[in-house]
Every structure is written in structure tokens, then in C-alpha cells.
Amino acid sequence: MQSEFVASLMNRREAVQSSLLLAMAGAAAGCAPATPPTDSSATAAGPSGKPLDYSNPVDNLYAFGKIWAGYEEPVIGGFHGLMYLRIPGKRMIPVFGYTGTGVLLAKQDPDGSLWVKSRETGYFTDLVTGDILETWDNPFTGETVPVYHFYNNMLVGKIGLEIPTFFFGKEGDSPTLMNEGTVFPDKDGKYPFILPFQQYGDDMLLSWDYTHEYTNPVTPEGWPKSSTGPRITPSEHFTFSFSKRELEDRSLPTIRFHAGFSRVSECWPFMRMGGSEFAGATLFGRSFSHKGLKGTADVPPKVLAYIEKNAPDFLTLPDGWVPDNSRVETWKAYALDVPPETEGYPWEPTAFKVPTGKAKRT
């Protein structure tokens, strides 16, 4: 899911979209308000002897790196679910599955700042067989379209001691504050990196939300069939669950989590809804995500086989921590990978070779 997050922190013009990294869905009903644990066990020291202080941004960053990724060596997670399409006034109908992987690693600087790097894939699948699609029969337009597979070759970013604000699109677009609704300014007007943890016994819950609006990189002028219009409004909402005991055990470099994810946006560019009566349709996605099993056991078998055959490098992480977020946003990646439909429209493709799908070029 479709991941979107860390790398924008070192470049305000490139917000990170985690939709393909950890796509997840759903939230438990009837939960208590999002407040840090306050019982005496909440800051009990793990085997390493150093307790977690949930009111301290440094400890929150440590916890986030351990949940989202892991320390010492890369970990790999998988996601899988369905996407539905809704035409205004009509019921939502399922259109395809959505699945992929994220390979992740974290490290924390002495000042508490958190580095995260990852490599991501995202694929669309047949509803019946679960096979990764190379073409999709659009039931609304009647067109059979090649499917765009998402590959984020490298994402390296740094998170500071404040909740990040992300900037997509062009100059003048409004920024997005992560976790709006569950994070609030301090007396100085700053948003310290304090996460909205909830605790129920040993069960810890964490939400992570963002709601964007920005200029569509897949412009109607350059990609009239792929573009749904000049603006896009992707919204993603994550829910994690994991063990408090494992989180607070500093001898563990990573922990297992299960997560849910819901997503609302315009139609993906490869669906070619632009210029049709369905250009204003809405996509809704719900998915599972999980990380923490040994090796590649979290990766759905058909996804693993596809990557091993076509893009084995995406099961590993390259060395180094050079900041890079050039392919993190899906619509921007599409505009980099897929030639404009309008002849003569300016296009600046990158040197990255997309392994499979619509953007694969010989």
C-alpha cells in the first residue's frame, strides 16, 4: 500500500505516498480516544533496560521505525485487497484486486531523527484468479487497457521531531498535515512527533491518516485519456495493531504488525477514464497488510513468484542512505514512465527501466 510517506521530509516539493508500500484498511469500532498509554506498565523497561516514553518524540520515532520497518537488517511486508468503483448515485462495484510489497529498513540518528528506506511494488489483480493483470477489460468504457505496474526503485527519507507536512503537485498547492484530527499543536504552534497510540492490554493500536489535494501530474493536456482532470484528491487511512510488550522490548529490532488500509481517490490513470462520462467516478480500496514473518512469508505467493521472475531486485534493498524520493508518488511516476498521448507535449522520462506493465520500454 501502495506506500507515500517518508522521503518528502527532505524535499518539500515531493511528498511521499505510501499507498503502495503498506496498503491497509479498516478501524475497530468503539475504541477509546487516541491518547498515549498512562498505566505504569506503559513505560516499563524491556530487556535492554530503557523504557519507552510515549510523550517523547524521540521514543515515538523509535517506535514508528520499529513498527513500520525495522532496525539492523531489511524486512519485507506484503499487502492485498480489493478496489471498488463508485459512479455518483450508483452502488460501488469491485473492479480489481490490489497487491504488492515493501522492503524496508530504519535507523535512528543520535538526535532522535529517523531514517527510513524502502523499495516498493504495486500490482492490480484479477478478481477471480488473483493473477497479476497485464491488461484490464474496463466495463464502463468497453476498452481493454494495458495495466500500469508501480515500481518505486528507491525511497530514502528522514523524519524529524515534528509531525511532517507534505507537499504534492505544484507551487501554490496546499500542504497536507499527517494525522490531521489526531495531532494538535503545542503552546508554540508546533506539532511534536507524538503518535495517537491506543492501548488495550497488550494490544497496541495506531492510526495514520492523510487527505491530499494537489495538481494532477497526469495533465489533461498531455494525457487526455489517462487524466481525470487538473486536480486529484487521494485520501488514505491506516490502522496498525501489534504487541505493546514487543514494541517496548528494545532487544527486538522489529516487530510483527497487522494493518488495515482504506483509500479513496480518482480513477488510476491506466483505466483511461479521461474524457468519458465516468471521469468523475471514485475509487475506494480496502486491503490487509502485514510484516514480521521470516524471509518472504508475508508476501502473497503469486506476487512473490511474479517478482522473482520479473523483478527480483525488488525483494532486496541496495546499500547506502542517499536521499531519494523521485518515484514515490504514483501519478507522478505514471507521468514519468508513460509517454504523453498528445503529440509534441513536453515529456522528461527518467532513466529507470520499469520491469513490467504498461510503462515497460525496450
Residue 193 lies in a domain: yes
Residue 345 lies in a domain: no
Structure confidence at residue 328 (pLDDT): 82
Query: Max Cα separation, the chain?
Result: 66
pTM of the model as a whole:
0.86
In the chain, the number of structural domains is 1
CA–CA dist 178, 297 (Å, integer) = 30
Residue 152 lies in a domain: yes
CA–CA dist 210, 219 (Å, integer) = 23
**Domain containing 255: what range?**
2-337
Structure confidence at residue 36 (pLDDT): 39
Residue 354 lies in a domain: no
What is the H or E stretch that residue 211 is in?
strand 203-211
pLDDT tens for residues 234-276?
999 999 999 999 999 999 999 999 999 999 999 999 999 999 9
Nearest Cα residue to 77 out of 299, 306, 314, 313:
299
Structure confidence at residue 362 (pLDDT): 55
Cα radius of gyration (the chain): 20
Which of helix, strand or coil describes residue 312?
helix
Residue 356 lies in a domain: no
Structure confidence at residue 167 (pLDDT): 81
Residue 344 lies in a domain: no
CA–CA dist 109, 276 (Å, integer) = 50
Structure confidence at residue 49 (pLDDT): 58
Structure confidence at residue 348 (pLDDT): 92
Residue 319 lies in a domain: yes
Contacts of 198 (CB under 8 A, 6+ apart): 31, 32, 33, 34, 35, 204, 205, 206
Contacts of 243 (CB under 8 A, 6+ apart): 202, 203, 204, 255, 256
Residue 89 lies in a domain: yes
Q: What is the mean pLDDT of each run of 10 residues along the chain (362 residues)?
A: 38 35 30 34 49 95 97 96 96 97 97 96 97 98 98 94 87 87 92 96 95 96 98 94 97 97 96 96 97 96 98 95 88 96 96 95 66
